[in-house]
Amino acid sequence: MAQIRVSDLTFSYDGSSDTVLENVSFNIDSDWKLGMIGRNGKGKTTLLNLLLGRYEYKGSISAGTGFDYFPYEISPEQLKNTADELAVFWKPHAESWQILMQINQIGLDPELMYRPFGTLSHGERTQVMLAVLFAGENEFLLIDEPTNHLDTDARRAVKRYLNSKKGFILVSHDRDLLDAVCDHVLVLNRKTVEVQAGNFTSWWENKEKSDAFAKAENEKHLKEIGKLKAAADRVGRWADKSEGSKIGFDPVKEHDRYMDTRAYIGSKTKKMQTRVKAFEKRIDREIEEKEGLLQDIETVNDLKLMPMRYHKEVLVEARDLSLRYEGADRELFTGMRFRIKRGDRLFLAGENGCGKSSIIKAILQKLADGGMNTPAMRQSFVGNGFTDTGSGPVIGGTLDVSSGLVISYINQDTSFLSGSLQDFCEKHGLQYSVFLAILRQLDFGRAQFVKDMEDFSEGQKKKVLIAASLLTPAHLYIWDEPLNYIDVFSRMQIEKLILEFEPTMLLVEHDERFREKVATGIVSF
C-alpha cells in the first residue's frame, strides 16, 4: 500500500481565466476503491490527467505507485486491429495470460480479443479495456465514466467486476455503481475537497446532515448579528444624545444640573461608546464564524416544465411491431406491443443494438412522413440530430402516432452541436434569456455562455439539449439516453422535476436508480 499525496494543487488551462482547481490538498491510499463525485466542470477528468502528469501545474503530487487510465485512446484506423494487438500499445508490460485471466474474471469470451475492435459493442469494448487495465501490477488505476452508453447488462457486468477489485479512482455519476463498488469517496465540493470513508449513499446522508447543521448555524448567527446591530445602534444613539447634552443647559428647566455634572455625563458617554465598540467586536466575531458555513451547500434549484395536454388518452400505440433496416438480413425485433398514454413515463429497456433507439426513430419518422408536424417541429427534430431522409427503419405491423402530436426530442448523440448558444436558440425558436436561466439552474457556469458549443464538455452539451427540451412545450417528451455525463446533482434535480410535473415521456436510460424513481412502465426487449 502506498500513499498518494496532493498538496496545494492549482491548475487552469492556457488562455483561460477560469481556475479549474485551486489549492487542492488530500491524501489517499493506493489500495482504496475510491469514487470521485462532483458537478460537471468541477475538474474530475482534469484531476486524473494531472495525476498522469499530462499538464503542468502549481503545487505538488507525490505517489509511490504508477498510474494507468481508462478509457484508452484509440484512433479510427486502430479499430481494424484486434484487442490483442491493441493491448501491446495500451499495456506493453502486461503478458497475454494476465489479460486473459482478467477477461475470464469479467465474464467475456476470450475470442473477443481476436476480433477487430470496431466490431465489438460499446459494452464489449469497455469490458475488454477494463480487463487490459487491471492486467498490470503495482498501479493505481484512474477510471473515467466507464458506464456511459452501456446497456443495463453491461453495466451490471462492469459493476460486478469493479466490486472484485481495489486500487482505483472511479469517476462516475451512476449512484448505483458508486454504492456497489466504492469504500471511499473523494468529493470536489464547490469550494473545498473532502475524502470520506463509505460510498455515495453514506456520503450523501452525511452531507444532508452537515448542510442542515450549516444552515441552522447560519440562521443562528444571522439572528445574533441582527440583535447585536440593533443593540449597538440603540446604545450609539444614547451615547450621541448624552454627548450632545454635556454643554449648555437651561437652569430653569434643568434646575438639578450644575457645571460639574459635565464630567459625569462625559464618563457616562464614554461607557456607552465602549459598549458600542464591544458590540461591534462581537458582530465581527459572529460574521467571521458565519463565513464559510454555506460555501459547499448544493443549492439545487427547482426546474419547471410546460407539458401540453393531448385531447386523446393514447398518444402512441404499437401492435405486432417489427423494425428492420434496408439491406439487413433480419428484423431488429418482431411482435412488439406497447401503448403510451397520457401521463405515462415509459422506459425502453434492453441490450445495446436491440432496437430501442430505432423505435424512437420510427416514431419521429412517422410524424415527418405523415406531415403531422409543423415546420418548426421538423426543424427541431433536424436540429437535434434527427434526419428524415428515408434512412429510418422499415416498419412492419402497426405503429400509430396520434395526429397533431407535439414532441420534444433529446438525441443521445451530441456531435452535431456547434456554434454559439445564441445561434442555437435562434435556430430552435427559443427565448435566449430564459434558456440561459435554465442552464444556470442546471449549474452551467456563466463563463461557458460565450464559448462555442464544440468546446463544451459532454456533460455541458447534454445540459444544452435538456434545457432546450424543458423550454419546449410538448405533448410527448422523447429522451434517448439523456443522462450520459450528467452529474449526480442534476440527475436528482431532473428526477424531482419529472415527478412534480408528470409529463408524458418515452425514455431510453440505463441509470437504474433514475428509472426506479420515475418510470411508470418498462418495455423490455
- Mean pLDDT of all residues in 373-396: 55
- Mean pLDDT of all residues in 115-144: 93
Residue 509's contacts (CB-CB under 8 Å, 6 or more residues apart) are: 347, 479, 481, 482, 483, 515
Cell of 136: 498490470
What's the pLDDT at 439? 94
Question: Would you say the C-alpha torsion 455, 460, 461, 465 has a positive or negative sign?
Answer: negative
Nearest-angstrom CA–CA distance, 349 and 106: 22
Nearest-angstrom CA–CA distance, 350 and 162: 22
How many angstroms separate the Cα of 342 from the Cα of each of 59, 316, 395, 477, 520? 56, 10, 24, 11, 11
Q: pLDDT-derived band of residue 383, with 50, 70 and 90 as boundaries?
A: very low
> How much of the chain, in percent, has pLDDT values that exceed 70?
85
Q: Where are the domains of the chain?
A: 3-190, 217-290, 314-524
Question: Do the domains 3-190 and 314-524 sit in the same CATH topology, yes or no?
Answer: yes
Question: Which of 149, 10, 156, 131 minimizes the C-alpha distance to 72?
Answer: 131
3 state DSSP class of 108 = coil
Q: pLDDT-derived band of residue 163, with 50, 70 and 90 as boundaries?
A: very high
What's the pLDDT at 382? 38
Question: Would you say the C-alpha torsion 506, 511, 514, 519 has a positive or negative sign?
Answer: positive
The DSSP output letter for 295 is T
Nearest-angstrom CA–CA distance, 212 and 218: 10
Burial state string for 135-163 with b = 16 or more CB within 10 A and e = fewer than 16? bbeebbbbbbbbbbbbbbebbbbbbebbe
Nearest-angstrom CA–CA distance, 87 and 179: 30
What's the pLDDT at 370? 62
What's the pLDDT at 326? 82
3 state DSSP class of 446 = helix
Helix axes 152-163, 96-106, angle to 10 degrees: 120
For the domain made up of 3-190, give the CATH fold: Rossmann fold (3.40.50)
Q: What is the DSSP string of 1-65?
A: --EEEEEEEEE--TT----SEEEEEEEEETT-EEEEEE-TTSSHHHHHHHHTT-S--EEEEEESS
Question: Strands 476-480 and 21-29, how do they pair?
Answer: unpaired
The DSSP output letter for 509 is -
3 state DSSP class of 521 = strand
Confidence check: pLDDT of 244 > 90: no
What's the pLDDT at 378? 43
- Mean pLDDT of all residues in 15-27: 86
Nearest-angstrom CA–CA distance, 272 and 446: 48
**Candidates 3.40.50.300, 1.20.140.10, 1.10.3720.10, 3.90.1150.10; CATH matching 314-524:** 3.40.50.300
The predicted-structure confidence for 283-327, as pLDDT tens digits, reads as follows 777 667 666 665 666 666 678 888 999 999 999 999 999 998 887
3 state DSSP class of 197 = strand
Peptide bond into 71 cis (omega under 30): yes
Rounded to two decimals, the pTM is: 0.76
What's the pLDDT at 354? 84
The DSSP output letter for 110 is G
Q: How far is CA 292 from the centre of its chain?
A: 24
Q: What is the dihedral of CA 379, 381, 387, 392, to 10 degrees?
A: -140
Nearest-angstrom CA–CA distance, 9 and 188: 13
